[in-house]
Chain A
Amino acid sequence: MQELYAHSHSGIHRLDARVKVIFTLAFVLFLSLAPARAWPAYILFLSLVLSAAVLSRLGIGFVQKRALLALPFALAALPLIFTGPPPTVLLPVFPGLQLSYSPDGLGRFASIALKSWISVQAAILLAATTRFPDLLFALQQLRVPKIFVAIVGLMWRYLFVISEEVLRLLRARASRSASLPGARRAGGSVAWRARVTGGMAGSLFLRSLERSDRVYSAMLSRGYNGELPAAESTPLAPADRRALALGVILLTFLWLLSLLTGG
């Protein structure tokens, strides 16, 4: 597993983490509030993200590669193509079997897929240009409830530990996945393999649970009482304020444009 943060010396990297968090949230919010089929507005939202990617010196390819991860989630909107509002067109598939296809539904599906793809890029850019501790600190300063910040922070910390654990489990299994000379194809049945995988997932869960108990005991023994140390709040620098205001105004314009062009 790799860190999300990718270091580079750019204005975007240097921007106050709070500005980036607020701007990213506003970006995603405005984009999701944009109506379906507002194509010109989507293109402007997209070009905004892409320009930020270029400015951050990470490059468009970097962001696109990571954004692919989010694609499967867009599939959740796929049924809209067939269940969208009338008018619907009946497509014959087999004799006696027809699919009802809704052009309006297709438009909505494309809008949702496009919007989620663009939003994910914004989130990726945020995570890639902000160190994780800075991100947590920003959330804390923005008065996100402490318990959430603590959960996110601990999750991030132990995600790496657990992914290492998964790697070791997989290695141990691979070591015992052998074949005999001249025997029929090795590997066992699909159902048996699935059961083994289930067993692995189960034991991983048990071990994570036990680890969380140990970690918590260790935290308690160092005086943890459910409170994180309070974040020292520093006011935003004037330049950061200007950047944030400018960004949010720009987003508002794009959103207004989407209201005019979509529908």
Chain B
Amino acid sequence: MDPIINIDRLSFHYPDGKQALFEISLQVARGEKIALVGANGAGKSTLLQHLNGIIEGSGQIRIDGLEVKKVNLGAVRALVGVVFQNPDDQLFSPTVFDDVAYGPIYQGLDKQAVKARVEQALAAVHMGDYAARNPYHLSGGEKKRIAIATVLSMQPQILVFDEPTAALDPRARRELIELLHELPQTMLIATHDLEMVKTLTPRTVMLHQGRVVADGPTAAILADEDLLKTYGLW
């Protein structure tokens, strides 16, 4: 089967000339859950933001066969749901309902369909009772779930997470990991949380200074203490 994400020699440098990604190639099969690990500044977030065309580098990315470029951005963003690290960046509406409804309304769905999508998405993150609440007053863990719901309501095929467990208390973190287990989508998760990686993602890709330095079964990579030490994960 064709990979759902196919990254071919992706490079990117910032406007100030600093190169962040060097010829990254990566294939992800449908339904795969992958961890993207690496020290701060390794290029994890930069790579993730390429997947739905928030930033554009050179090289090629295909999502479900569709090339990520300007004319396809709308369609690509319907396929790839990005959950940002800070839920406050993602939640900007007066009520949880409005926030989760943003994606579907933008896509032009009618009222009934939008309502159904919102209910479905909130149920999927176990937050069905929160539709009328103000996102601003929720706890960190709750905000994270709502942020995920805002993406699920678009029914994407791929979920992309940037540091999903950062700044969560132990219980919120455990519940979030359980939720990620439940969700059937293809997942790409940038994280420092190696404990989570161990249980959640069978495959791990390690970045260092904008290059892929390891790609393989999680168990093998996490067992390689030298590798982890070399790249600042230990």
Contact = CB atoms under 8 A, between A and B. Distances in A.
Q: Do A and B bind each other?
A: yes
Interface of A: 165, 168-169, 171-181, 183-188, 192, 196, 199-200, 202-203, 206-207
Given A183-B107, A206-B136, A178 B75 contact: yes
A178 B154 CA distance: 8
By secondary structure, the B interface counts as helix
Interface stretch (B3-11, B83-91, B168-176): B83-91
Interface stretch (B30-38, B97-105, B191-199, B202-210): B97-105
Contacts of A181: 75, 78
B40 to A, nearest CB: 17
Contacts of B78: 178-181
A176 B106 contact: yes
Given A171-B84, A175-B52, A188-B106, 14 more contacts: A169-B92, A171-B89, A173-B102, A175-B82, A178-B79, A178-B107, A180-B75, A181-B75, A181-B78, A183-B107, A186-B74, A199-B94, A202-B94, A207-B88
B108 A187 contact: yes
B79 to A, nearest CB: 8
Main secondary structure of the interface of A (DSSP, over half): helix
A239 to B, nearest CB: 37
What are the 3 closest A-B residue pairs judged by CB atoms, nearest first? Answer: A179-B74, A178-B78, A178-B77
A206 B86 CA distance: 15
B93 interface: yes
B189 interface: no
A203 B88 contact: yes
A192 B109 CA distance: 13
Interface in B126-154: 136, 150-151, 154
Contacts of A183: 107-108
A176 B154 contact: yes
Contacts of B150: 176
Contacts of B107: 178-180, 183, 186
Contacts of B25: none
Given A171-B49, A199-B98, A177 B88 contact: no
A1 to B, nearest CB: 13
B54 interface: yes
Contact of B106 (A172, A178, A200): A178
A199 B94 CA distance: 6
Given A168-B84, A179-B74, A173 B92 contact: yes
A173 B91 CA distance: 9
Contact of B84 (A172, A180, A192): A172
